[in-house]
Amino acid sequence: MYLLSMLSPGQVASPPTFVRLAAHPLRWRLLSELADSDYRVRELVTRVDQPQNLVSYHLRLLRDSGLVSATRSSFDGRDSYYHLDLDRCADALTDSGAALHPALRRVAETPIPPVEQQRSRRITVLFVCTGNSVRSPIAEALLRHHTADHVAVTSAGSRPKCRLQPNTIRVLRETFGIDISSQRPQHLDTLAGRMFDHVITLCDRAREACPEFPDHPRRVHWSIPDPATADDTAQANYRAFQRAAADIDTRIRHLLPVLTATDQ
C-alpha cells in the first residue's frame, strides 16, 4: 500500500478524518439521510430511530468537520435545518483516496450528466417557495437551463407575490444568461391534481404549507434563506441573491444524477 510505504518502520497509519467520521454506522446513516434532503433534528431522530441526544452529538461532530451545516428555520426560529455539503464530501473522498495511493486522486471534475428526454413522457419537477418570486423561479430556470428543457419543470408559491423580485431577474441574467423577465408568480392551487415525479420545497414556511400531490412524488426540502429579506444596502442585498443563486445552482447540479436515475 502506498500509504504504508511512506511510513517509518513501526509507525502506525491514521485513517483520514473523513474515513474515521463516515465509518461510524450512525454517522454514515445521517450522511445518507442528509444527502437526500435537509432535515431538522427531530426528523433525523425518527428516520434513524436513535435517541435525540445521540443524534445531536454525532451531528455536532459532522458540523465540526465542515461536512454538515445548520440554518435557522424561517418557519420556527427555535428550530434548525441540517444540510450536507456534497462538494466538500466529494473533496474529502478524493483526499482520502489520494492518501491511500496518488492514482486514486480525481483527475478532473465529474461533468454534469445529461438528462435525456424519456420515450413516454418527461420527468416532472415542481419547485415551491412562499412567494414564488425568488428561490423557486431561480431553481426552475436553472434546472431547465441545465437539462436543455428535457425536464418538465415548474414553480409555484403558497402565497405568491404579484411579480418576481427585480434581483431575481437580474441575477439569472447577469450570472447565467437566463431571461425570465416575462414570468409571473403562480399559486400552488393552480397545480392541484397535477402529477409530479419530484416536489422540492426551498423555504421552510412553504414546506409546512405544501399540499400532497397524486402518485406520491419524491419530496425533498432545501432550506435556503430568502435573500429578499436582507436588510442592508442595495449592493449587499444583491450579493445575498448571488449567494442564494449559487447555492441553488449547486443543489441543481447534485439533483441531475438523481433525475438521470429516474430516467432509466
* Structural domain spans, the chain: 2-104, 123-263
List, for the chain, all residue ranges whose pLDDT scores fall below the cut of 50.
1-5, 107-108, 118-119
Q: Can you give the pTM of this predicted structure?
A: 0.87
Q: Which of 203, 220, 224, 230 is catalytic?
A: 203
| Residues in contact with 56: Cβ distance below 8 Å, sequence separation at least 6, in sequence order | 41
Query: Among all chains, which residue has been given the C-alpha cell 402565497?
Result: 159
Measuring CA to CA, which residue among 46, 71, 47, 44 is closest to residue 57?
Answer: 44
Determine the Cα–Cα distance for residues 220 and 78; give it in Å rounded to an integer: 21
Angle 157-160-164 from CA coordinates, rounded to 5°? 105
Mean pLDDT rounded to a whole number for the chain: 88
- Cβ–Cβ under 8 Å, residues 206 and 225: no
For 60, phi then psi, to 5°, come to: -65, -40
CATH class given for the domain over 123-263 = alpha beta
What single letter denotes the amino acid at residue 113? P
For position 98, what pLDDT does the model report? 85
Q: Is 83 helix (H, G, I), strand (E, B) or coil?
A: strand
Identified catalytic residue from 22, 115, 129, 172: 129
What confidence score (pLDDT) does residue 119 get? 46
Q: Which of 128, 134, 210, 255 is catalytic?
A: 210
Active site residue 89: no
* Residue 144 CB partners (closer than 8 Å, separation 6+): 151, 153
12-59: pLDDT as tens digits: 568 889 999 999 999 999 999 999 999 999 999 999 999 999 999 999
Task: Report pLDDT for 10.
Answer: 54
Helices 41-48, 25-34: axis angle to 10 degrees equals 120
Domain 2-104: give its CATH architecture: Orthogonal Bundle (1.10)
How far is 179 from 186, CA to CA, in rounded Å?
18
